[in-house]
Copies of this chain bind each other. A is one copy, B any other.
Amino acid sequence: MTTVPRPEERELPFNVFAKACPSRGTLEHVTGRWGALTLGALHEGSLRFNELRRRVDGVSEKMLSQTLQALERDGLVHREAQPTNPPRVDYELTPLGHEVAGRLLALIQYVEGSMDAVLEARERYDETRGAR
């Protein structure tokens, strides 16, 4: 037996459960409404601004721009601007962003695949206490 703690027992220097921890902010960028979908879309390959906008159905120009800036600042997305006319800007995941997006997609796809069960659970829930 060793004294080296297993990964899930080791104390991490950052802890999302603590109010002031910066990891909570980054997690919100990643899992936020538009952040998650943006990372998911970019996981398949690089996309231009308006391609991304069409892929992430419902996002406004402002929110997409804002989301991309936050993800770029956190080092998850790389922005490649070509000073041509008309301008062309490509967005792609960094290696770190790719790792994050992979884990995010595992979650997203599991949720998508569980929607039948979720919808059934909702019906049961609404049925029993919907009479309120």
Decide: A14 near B100, CB < 8 A? Known: A27-B36, A122-B74.
Answer: no
A41 touches B27 (CB 8 A): no
Copies of this chain present in the complex amount to 2
A19 touches B75 (CB 8 A): no
A75 to B7, CA, bound (A): 29
Residue of B nearest to A113 (CB): B12
Query: How many residues of A sit at the interface, in one of the four size bands?
Result: 35 or more
Residue of B nearest to A108 (CB): B16
CB distance from A26 to the nearest CB of B (A): 5
Residue of B nearest to A115 (CB): B14
Interface residues of A (CB under 8 A from B): 7-8, 12-19, 22-23, 26-28, 30-33, 36-37, 40-41, 55-58, 72-76, 96, 99-100, 103-104, 106-115, 117-122, 124-126
